[in-house]
Structure 1
Amino acid sequence: MLVLISNSTAVVGETDIINVLFEEGLEILHMRKPGATVDEISSLIEKIDSKYHHQIALHQHHEIATGYGIKRLHFTEAGRKQMSEEALIRLKMANHILSTSIHQEEAYKDLPASFMYTFFGPVFNSISKQEYTSSMPADFLFPVKKNLSKVIAIGGIDVTNIQQVKQMQFNGAAILGAIWQKPGESIQQFKAIQKAWKQTDR
């Protein structure tokens, strides 16, 4: 699973790039805009081809999801802890696909079963946040369990290290800085990362 996380702030031509990336085979876009209003998020979604809306995961303003046919809802670590098990089960029973984030390996086994997958990181030093550094050893292996949530690596992932993600036993990779750091090269970078990721499945 290859996931793209939106830039936290506006990018020139952002939705045009996103539409092309979906055409190129992007599986899931996580719409993460911490400071954005409901109207700003709605405006972005409306500029993304509606045939891709079911591939968008919302990080905030979950209340607008249904109006756009969005079933994917992401909960931050803090947001997850504010949700009851019953509320999460109700969302899952309503066919929502739930995801969350963890930063400690120990938190994995305690995740509610309602979450299909979780982000875990930083696996490498972040590209977009210089202060977001990794403490993972080179031989790190994540203890993914078949009966628990899938685990998506996040943090500093680009074409040079994405193959290591599979070696670390992760189920997928989330990319951010490698795509948005230079918007003019976003599509080229995505294609290169996608090609390298697919090679790990051989």
Structure 2
Amino acid sequence: MCDLGLQTLHLRKPGWSRDKYAAYIEQIQPNNRRRVVLHDWHELASTLHLKGIHYTERNRPAAPIQHHPPLTISTACHSLQQLAAGFGAVDYVLLSPIFDSISKEGYKAAYPEPDALKQAVRSAGVPVIALGGVGPSNLQFACDLGFAGVAVLGAVWQAVDPVQAFVAIARACQEPD
């Protein structure tokens, strides 16, 4: 997928040990490691020359996040109130669930008022990435809401052919408005 345009891969493997994370990452070609963002074992990001680190709600510091050059820093939030509050020196925020989840049954879209969502995204002061139920059919709507990008999970990893699903999403992202 890196050869087909994948910009960032968020690596989240709950319960994996530090050694298992490191062994997995070492299987990734060195030039593609610069696309990997870690959700756990953040110290590996520098030693393995990765793109960055991600703070989940579980591991986000209570104090404002400090920047860690040259790593990118991201975090996630699940409400417009959290988004408005800010998190410190982050490069981008994942906001979810924007649409009904594909990978989590019963995890419904949390933002029924598109105008309020659009205003919150545009006034966040940091790029906001749409997460939750994102697929080819709703990419344009995410763009219309002002999101800086999209993150996909179920649309790719639950597809019969994940690579082909990724290609379809990448093509949809490149299509003119």
Q: Scaled by the length of structure 2, what TM-score is found?
A: 0.90
Residue 170 of structure 1 is matched in structure 2 by 147
| Residue deviations 1:148-172 (CA, integer Å, cap 9, x gap) | 1210000011111111110111111
**Percent of residue pairs identical:** 32
Q: For 1:74, give the aligned amino acid.
A: H
Q: Per chain length, whose mean CA-contact separation is higher, i.e. which structure has more relative contact order (CA < 8 Å, sep 6+)?
A: 1
Question: Bigger CA drift: 23-32 or 109-118?
Answer: 109-118
Residue 89 of structure 2 is matched in structure 1 by 114
Q: How does 1:57-96 map to 2 (within 5 A)?
A: 57-80=37-60, 82-85=61-64, 88-89=65-66, 92-96=67-71
Mind listing any 5+ residue stretches in structure 2 that lack a counterpart? Answer: none
Structure-2 separation of matches of 1:101 and 1:176 = 15
Contact 1:179–1:186 (CA under 8 A) maintained in structure 2: yes
Q: How does 1:1-202 map to 2 (within 5 A)?
A: 21-80=1-60, 82-85=61-64, 88-89=65-66, 92-137=67-112, 139-140=114-115, 141-142=117-118, 143-145=120-122, 148-182=125-159, 184-200=160-176, 202=177
Structure-1 separation of matches of 2:123 and 2:111 = 22
Provide the alpha-carbon RMSD of the alignment: 1.9
Q: Secondary structure at the match of 2:108?
A: coil
Q: Scaled by the length of structure 1, what TM-score is found?
A: 0.79
Contact 1:45–1:53 (CA under 8 A) maintained in structure 2: yes
Structure-2 separation of matches of 1:45 and 1:93 = 20
Structure 1 position 137, deviation (Å): 2.5
Change (3 A) 1:48 1:93: closer
Change (3 A) 1:180 1:137: same
| Residue deviations 1:66-97 (CA, integer Å, cap 9, x gap) | 221124010012322x3433xx32xx253221
Question: Bigger CA drift: 22-31 or 59-68?
Answer: 59-68
Aligned length: 175
Change (3 A) 1:136 1:159: same
Q: For 1:84, give the aligned amino acid.
A: A
Structure-2 separation of matches of 1:198 and 1:72 = 25
Q: For 2:151, give the aligned amino acid.
A: A
